[in-house]
Structure 1
Amino acid sequence: MLKSLLVLLFLLFNFSADAQKVFLSGFVKEAGSKQPVSGALLRFPAIEKEFYSDKNGYFKIALDKGICQVLISYPGFQERSISLSIRQNQQEIFYLTSDAAQLKEVTISSTKGSVMQSNLNNFSLLKQADLKNAPGFLGVSDVIKTIQTLPGSGNGGEGNAGLFVRGGGSGQNLVLFNHAVIYNPSHLLGFFSVFNSDAVGEVKFYKSGIPAEYGGRLSSVVDIQSDQQIADSLLVDGELSVLAAKINLKIPITSKWSVATTMRKTFMNYSVWPIVNKFSADEESGNKLNYDFYDLNFSTALALTKKDKLFAAFYVGGDDFGLKMIRFDIANGMKWQNSAASLKWNRMISNQLNLETVASYSGYRFSFGMKQEGLEVGVHSAITDFNYSSTLKAYFGAHQLKAGLSMIQHKFVPNTPSSKNKFMEFDYGKPNTYMADETAVFLSDDFKFSERLSVYAGLRMTYYRHKGPYSTTASDGLVTTVASGKTVSDTFFMEPGLTVKYHLNNSTALKFAYSRNVQTIHLIPISASNFPSDFWIPSVSQIPPEKGNQYSLGIFKEWADAGYEGYVDLYFRDMKNIVEFSGGLMNLSNSVKIEDHVFLGKGSSYGSELYFKKTKGRFTGHISYTISKSDRTFEGLNEGYTFPFKYDRTHDLTAVANYKLQANWSLSALFTLATGNAYTKPISRYLIAGNVINEYGAYNAARMPTYHRMDLSATHQFPAKGKYQSFLSLSVYNVYSRKNPIFNYYIARGSLTTGKVSIQERSIALLPILPSINYKIVFK
C-alpha cells in the first residue's frame, strides 16, 4: 500500500493537465476589512457551473480559454458581475461590498450544491444557521445533537454523552474547538454539548477519508471553529428559558481588532429536575436527579497587517450531577470540567502560500463519588495536553498542497481513588501518572486531473513515545522504574489516505475513500451505564496503539433547481488493539494500574448510509438512515467468540423537518428511531449458601428496547424595533413521553429462608415529556 501511495504522489506532482484548460484562482474578500469571505458563490452562466470559496476565501477553477462572465455573491453583500479574458493561468482578488439594506433581513442558509462541495470533500459542513434550524433539547440548538441527525453518527441512547460513528467507540472521535482537543464534549449526559451555538462559526465533520493534518483517532473528526472575522459593529443578544440564561457579545475595539464572549448558566435544579423527580417519585424504583452546568467562551481577532492575523480563544465549562436511588439509599455524584485555550497566527505569504501556526492547551477533570451508610468512595482523573502545529498551504496550478508539523505533550492521571468512613480516611499512596509525547509530519495534495476527476492523497508520519516516571512490577515481584523524561517505549507509524472523486455529470459524482488511522490514547470503558465515568490513558508496553482501516464508496446526487440533494455511501472498517477493562468502576478504588487489567481485541463494522435533503421552499428538512453491523472479538471475553458491540445499531433513522408557517412563524420537528443497545442479560439464578448467584447468557446477546422519540418546536420572530429584534420559542421534548431506559436492574422479592424468590426486571429512564419556553433578544 505504501509503495502504491508513493507512486501515486509522484504522479500527482508530475501529471500535466489538459492543454486546452487553464486555471482561474484567487480570493474573495470584503472590500472594507480585506478579510476573506468563506463560502462565497462563484457562478459561470455560460458553462452552467458553480464553485465556492474555502475558509480562506480561496478558489480555483478549471476553465476553457476565452472570454467568460463570473457572478460572485454572498448573503449580505452586493452581487458582482465581472467579465474576464482567460488566456493562461491567472489569479484574481474579488472584493465584495456590504449591502446595508439587506443586512437586517438576511438569513444565511445551507448553500446550494453543498453535497458536491462538502460531502465530496469528506466532510459535512454545518453553519450556525443549520444548528438553529434543528430542534434542540428544550429549545436549545446544539452542535453534537445536530451531527447525530446525520447518517452513520448515532448516539448511545438517552443520557449518553458519546458520539458513535460507523461502529466506533466514543473515544475514537477527535473533537477540536478552535484547534484545542475537548476530551468530554458533552453537558447533561449528552443532551447538550459544551459548544454554545452562539460561539460556533462553522463545523466540519469527517467520518471517512480523514485528511493527513488530523491525527490520533480512528473514527471521526469534529472540527469546530468560532467566527474568526473581526466584528465591525456591536452585537448583544441574550436568551432566557426555563433551562438557562445566556448572553452573547461581539465588541469592535478598532477597525482591526474585536473581542467576543458568550456565557451560559443553567438553573435546572430549580426548574426542570423538580418536575422530573415528581414523575419518578415512587418508593420502590424512584430516583432523584439534580444537575447544573456552566460554560464561558472568550475570543479575540486582531489584524496585525494585511497579511497577518491573530486569533485567540479560551473556553471553560463545568458540570455537577447527582443521582439518588431511593430504594437502595445510594447517592451518586459526578463532576467534570473542560478547559481549552489556543492562539493562532495566520500569515498570507503570497497568493499561493499561506502559513498557519497554532499553540493550544487542553485540560479535563472528572470525579465520581458514592455515599451509602456512612461510607464515601470516589475516583478522580485528570488530563493535560500542550500542542503545537504549523501548516503550510500552497496553491500551484492544479495542486492544492499541505505540509506541516505537529507536536503534543500528554499528561494523564486516570484513576486516583479516595475513600473514608466516619472514623478514618484511607491513604492510597502516589497516584498513577502517565507521560507521553508524539511528533508528526504530514504532506497532502488535492489534485484536479480534469473537470471530472480529482484525487486527494495524504501521508502522516508519527513518532510516539511513552516516557517516565513509570514503574512496572514483574510476576516475581521485581519492580523496574524508569526516571522522569526517559523513554519507556516508543513506536513509529504511517497513516496514508486516498480519496478519488469522479463526476459523472454536473450533478452526480462517485467517491472512493480510504484511510489508515492510528490512535495512541485509549478511552477505557469502565461502567456499563451511560454515564461519563470512563478514563483515558496513553499507549504503554502492554497496550499498543489502536489501528484501523476504513473503505467507503458512495454516489452523490443533487437536483439544484428543485432544491434536493442526497447520497448513498457504503463503508467497511476493521480495527485492532481496541480495549476493554476487566473490572468495574469500583475496582479502581485501590489505585490499580489499568494496563494490568485490560483485554485487547479487534473489531469490524460495515453498513450503508442513505441521506436525502430538501433545501428550497417553505418546507425543508432531511432524512438519514443507516443499516449497519458492528462487532468485537476478545480472547478474554465470551470464550473468544465474536459478539455485538454495545452500540451496534442495526437500524438508525432520523427525520428533521422545518416549515415556514408565516413570515414570522416557523415550525420544526425531529423524530429518531434506533435499535436498542446490546447488553449481557442474566438467564438463570441459583441459591447457594443463602446467596443468589446469577448465570449470564452470551455476551451482549440481549437488547434494550427500541429507542424512539419525537421533539417539536415553534419559533415566533417579533417585528424589529430599531436595532432590537426578539424571538419566542416554544418546544416539547419527548412529545409522547416515551420511557427510553438508560440501564436495567433486577429486584429480588421473597425470602431466602424459604427459598421462594422471584426476580423482577426494572429500568431507569431519565426524561418524560418536557415542555420549554425560550425568549431571545438581539441588539445590533
Structure 2
Amino acid sequence: MKFAFLLLLTLFLSETNAQNSYQIEGHLYNASTKAPVANATIKTRQKTTSSDERGYYNLVLNEGEHVLTLTHIAYDTLQISLILQKDENKDLYLHPKMALMNEVVVSGSPRKSNIRSVSGNVQTLTREDLRKQPAFLGQADPLKTLQTLPGSGKGGEGNSGFYVRGGTAGQNLTLFNEAPIYNPSHLLGFFSVFNAEAIDQVKLYKSAIPSEYGGRLSSIIEVNSSRKVEDSLSIRGDVSILAANTTLALPITSNWSLSVSARKTFMNQTVWPLVNSLAGNGSSFNDMRYDFHDLNLNSNARIGSRNSLNLSAYHGGDRFGFGIRRFNISNGMNWKNSAYSFSWKSILEDRAVLQNTASYSGYNFNFGMTQDKYDANITSQIRDINWKSVLALYFQKHQLKTGLQYTRHRFKPNTPSVSASDTEYDFGLPNIYHSDESSFFLSDEFSVTEKTGINAGARFTYYRQLGPYQLTNEEQETVSFGKNEAVSAFGYIEPSLTLRQLLNQNSSLKLSLSRNIQPLHLISVTAVNFPADFWMPSLRSIPAEKGLQASVGYFRDSGKDNRYESYIDLYYKKMSGLVEFSGGIMNLIDNLKIEENLLFGSGRAYGAEFFLKKNTGKLTGWIGYTLAKSERRFEGINGGNYFPAKYDRTHDLSIVSSYPLTSRWNVNASFTYATGNAYTKPASRYLIGGNIVNEYGPFNGNRMPAYHRMDLAATYKIRNNRKFSTELSLSVYNVYNRQNPVYIYFLAEGDLEKQKVSIRPKSVTLLPVLPAVNYKFSFK
C-alpha cells in the first residue's frame, strides 16, 4: 500500500508539473508570540484556502504573478505579491489587531462558507455557537446544540437518542478524536459525554458521508479537541449547584503542551432531592438519583515544521437509580465510556499529508433490579481496537484522499446474573461475538469549471464474523468455529457523490447521492432510548443494514459581510435490514441468543430542512425547521404495511438567539417544538377468565402530546481582562413548566369480582422548571 501511495503521488505530480503549476506552502505565525495562527483565510484570484490548527497552509497556483491576501478576525490583513516560477515554502507572520478601545478577548474562527464547499450538508459548531444556547442547568453541551439544527431530531425528555433524517439512534457514528463513542450521553440525553471546555469543534455529516468514514446509515458526528500547542499556562472552569468543571492547559516546552479537563456532578445532593420532593407521593417513581463524572486528557506536540502528534484520552461514568413505589422495586443503572487515540500527522512531500491514528474504545453497561430478596442484573460490554491511515494529496484542480482502516470488535450484549435469597442461578457461558472490518477508501474533490465542482468517493469494506462461535445448521447439528475462524464474511462498497453548482458569488445548488452499509445494529429493548439498548454485529443470520439517500439543496449567504447564511435541503432515504428485538429487557435475563429473537424490516424517510443563521450584529442565532416523515415496515406488524416510526417528527422547530444588553450583560434564549412520539394505544379491553385482555389499535397510530419548551439564560461579566476573567450566569430550564411526557402507560383500576375495571392513561414526566446559577472563571 505504501508503494501505491507513492505511485499515486508520482503520477499526479507529473501531471501537475506538465500544466506549469506550482505549490506555495508554509506556516502562519503570530508576529508577537510566534504561535501558529489557525483558521486564517488565504485568498488569490484563483483559489481560497485556510490554515489548519498548526498554521499550515497549501495552495497550488498557475505559473506567474499572484497576490495573496491573508485575513483573520484577530489579525491585521496582510497582502503579499509574488512571482511563482517554482514550488515555494514561505512562512508568514500576522500582526494582532490593535485598536483604541477597551481590552477585549477575541475568540472563535472565521466561518467557512457552505456555498463553495464541494461536500454534502455538513454543519460545524464552534465554542462560540455553544455559548449562544442557554445551557441546561448551567452546563453547555455540544450534542444538545446539534439537536437544534434541522434534520437532527429530538427523542424527547429523558431520551438519549439522536435521530438524523428519520434514522435510528444507532445509525450515527460518533467519533471523539477518531475513537468511536457507543453511548455519547450522560443523564438520559440531558448531557453528552463531551465537555464543552475540552473540545474545539463539532461537525455533523448527514448527506454524502465522506469515504474516509463508513459503517453508518444516517450521520457522522465528528468531535475534535484542539490540536493547538498551547503557549501559556491557563486555567478555566465553572461551578454550579449541578457540577464543577475545570480545565488546565500547560505548556511543557515551546513545542509540546498538555491539557486536562475534569467534570463532576453532585446532583444527588442538590437537584434530585428537590425533584423527589416536588413529585410527592402521587408520582409513580421515588428515590430518583443520578450522578456522573468524566475526565479528558489532550496532548499536542510539534516535531519540526512537518510533523505533529496528538494523544487523546477520555473516561467517564454514570450512576442512575430510581424506585417504583407501587411495586417496591429499586432499579439501578451504571455505564462507562472510554476512548483513547494517538494520531501522527506528517507532511511527506510537497502536496502530500499523511495521518495515522490508532484508537481504542470501550463501553460497559450494568442494569440491576431489586425486589424484596430477589436481585437481577444484566451487563453489556463493547471493545474496539482501530487503526486508520489517511493520505491527502493536493493539486491544482484535485484534492485526493485515500487510505486504509482496520477495526476489531468484541461484543458481550447480555450477561445475566440472578439471585434469590442465598441461591445463585447458573445461566451457562455468556454470549460473546467477535468481528472485524478491513476498509480501503478513495475520494477526489475537483473543479470541472470555475462554477462546477464534484466530490466523488467510494469505500470498500470486507467484513467478517469471527469465532469462537456455535450455531445450529439446517440438519439441527451444532457447528463450532474456533478462535479467529471466519463464521461468515461479505464485502460491500459505499459510494458517494456530490455535485456543486455556483449560481453566483452568494448562492449554490448541491446534489448529493450516497449508498451506505451498516454491519452493526443497536437493539432497542425499552420504551425510550435508555442505555440498556445494546449493540450486536452482523452474523450469518443477521444481515447488514443498507441505505440509499438522495438530497438536493439551495445554499445562500446574504447581507453585508455575509451576515446571514441559509439553506433549503430536500432529502429522500430508503433503508433495509432494520432490526427490532422481539422481547423486552427482562427477556435478556434468560441469557437467550439475541440472533434468534429478532424481527427484520425496512424503512423510508423524506423531508425538507430550512435553516437561517445570523452570524454578526448584536442579535445573533439561528432558526431551524424540519418538515419530515419517517416510516417502517415489518412483516407481522400492522399487516405488513408501513407505519410511523416511533420518533417520526412531522414538525421540528428550534430557535436559538443571543443578544448583548450591555458590555457586561448578555442574554440567551431558545425555544423548541416537536411533534409527539408515535405509540400504539389500546382500543378495547375484555375480561376473560378473570384476566384483562387488551385489543390494540393501529401500530404507532397515536401521538403523544407535542413536545415544546423554552429556556432562558443571562450572563454578567464580573471581570474581563487579558489575565483574569469571571462571569456569573442564571439559567432557567423549561421556563413555563411544560410537563413533557417521557412515555404514557395505562393503569387498570377497579374490582375484578364485580367486573368493573377502568383504564386510564398516565404520563411519566421528569423535569419541571429548573433554575440554576453558574460561576465561570478563566486565568491565563
Within 5 Å, give how 1:418-497 maps onto structure 2.
Answer: 418-474=417-473, 477-497=476-496
**CA distance in structure 2 between the aligned counterparts of 1:598 and 1:91, rounded to whole angstroms:** 61
Distance 1:743 1:89, change over 3 A: farther
Matched residue, 1:540 = 539
Distance 1:771 1:619, change over 3 A: same
Matched residue, 2:96 = 99
The worse-fitting range, judged by mean Cα deviation, of 521-530 and 399-408 is 521-530
Matched residue, 1:716 = 716
CA contact (8 A) 2:119 2:455 kept: no
Matched residue, 2:176 = 177
Amino acid in structure 2 at the alignment position of 1:82? I
CA contact (8 A) 2:719 2:727 kept: no
Secondary structure of 2:248 counterpart: strand
Distance 1:84 1:252, change over 3 A: same
Distance 1:22 1:355, change over 3 A: closer
CA shift for structure 1 position 410: 0.4
**CA distance in structure 1 between the aligned counterparts of 2:192 and 2:118, rounded to whole angstroms:** 23
Secondary structure of 2:624 counterpart: strand
Within 5 Å, give how 1:151-300 maps onto structure 2.
Answer: 151-283=150-282, 285-300=284-299
Amino acid in structure 2 at the alignment position of 1:331? S
Deviations 1:374-395 (A, max 9, x none): 2222211000000001111111
Deviations 1:161-198 (A, max 9, x none): 11100000000100000110000000010011000011
Matched residue, 2:77 = 79
Amino acid in structure 1 at the alignment position of 2:69? L
CA shift for structure 1 position 477: 4.7
CA contact (8 A) 2:47 2:59 kept: no
CA contact (8 A) 1:25 1:58 kept: no
**CA distance in structure 2 between the aligned counterparts of 1:251 and 1:296, rounded to whole angstroms:** 16
Matched residue, 2:5 = none
Within 5 Å, give how 1:596-611 maps onto structure 2.
Answer: 596-611=596-611
Deviations 1:608-627 (A, max 9, x none): 00000111111011000000
Deviations 1:689-746 (A, max 9, x none): 1111111111111111100000000111123367211011110000001011111112
Secondary structure of 1:146 counterpart: helix
CA contact (8 A) 2:607 2:626 kept: yes
Matched residue, 1:768 = 768
The worse-fitting range, judged by mean Cα deviation, of 34-43 and 365-374 is 34-43
TM-score w.r.t. the length of structure 1 is 0.94
Amino acid in structure 2 at the alignment position of 1:95? L
Deviations 1:734-778 (A, max 9, x none): 000101111111221210010011111101111000000100111
Deviations 1:620-655 (A, max 9, x none): 110000001011111132231111111110100000
Amino acid in structure 1 at the alignment position of 2:438? T
CA contact (8 A) 1:512 1:554 kept: yes
Distance 1:75 1:493, change over 3 A: same
CA shift for structure 1 position 420: 1.3
Secondary structure of 1:229 counterpart: coil
**CA distance in structure 1 between the aligned counterparts of 2:527 and 2:218, rounded to whole angstroms:** 21
Matched residue, 2:316 = 317
Distance 1:271 1:408, change over 3 A: same
**CA distance in structure 1 between the aligned counterparts of 2:105 and 2:656, rounded to whole angstroms:** 23
CA shift for structure 1 position 69: 3.6
Distance 1:366 1:307, change over 3 A: same
Distance 1:13 1:71, change over 3 A: closer
Matched residue, 1:734 = 734
Deviations 1:387-433 (A, max 9, x none): 00111111122111111000011000000011112131211111000
CA contact (8 A) 1:384 1:410 kept: yes
Matched residue, 2:4 = none
**CA distance in structure 2 between the aligned counterparts of 1:274 and 1:719, rounded to whole angstroms:** 34
**CA distance in structure 2 between the aligned counterparts of 1:143 and 1:536, rounded to whole angstroms:** 24
Within 5 Å, give how 1:572-651 maps onto structure 2.
Answer: 572-651=572-651
Matched residue, 2:511 = 512
CA contact (8 A) 1:118 1:125 kept: no
Matched residue, 1:4 = none
Deviations 1:97-121 (A, max 9, x none): 4638689623334635533256955
Distance 1:28 1:650, change over 3 A: farther
Secondary structure of 2:720 counterpart: coil
Secondary structure of 1:341 counterpart: strand
Matched residue, 2:668 = 668
**CA distance in structure 2 between the aligned counterparts of 1:93 and 1:514, rounded to whole angstroms:** 39
Deviations 1:483-539 (A, max 9, x none): 111110000111111111110111000111111111111101111124221110100
RMSD: 2.6
Unaligned runs of 5+ in 1: 1-8
Q: Is structure 2 residue 742 aligned with structure 1 residue 745?
A: no
Matched residue, 2:42 = 42
CA contact (8 A) 2:574 2:603 kept: yes
TM-score w.r.t. the length of structure 2 is 0.94
Distance 1:699 1:730, change over 3 A: same
CA contact (8 A) 1:77 1:96 kept: no
Distance 1:121 1:529, change over 3 A: closer
CA contact (8 A) 1:312 1:342 kept: yes
**CA distance in structure 1 between the aligned counterparts of 2:199 and 2:497, rounded to whole angstroms:** 30
CA contact (8 A) 1:23 1:398 kept: no
CA contact (8 A) 1:27 1:53 kept: no
**CA distance in structure 1 between the aligned counterparts of 2:744 and 2:308, rounded to whole angstroms:** 54
Matched residue, 1:688 = 688
CA shift for structure 1 position 685: 1.0
Matched residue, 1:30 = 29
Amino acid in structure 1 at the alignment position of 2:606? Y
CA shift for structure 1 position 68: 4.7
Within 5 Å, give how 1:51-70 maps onto structure 2.
Answer: 51-53=49-51, 67-70=65-68
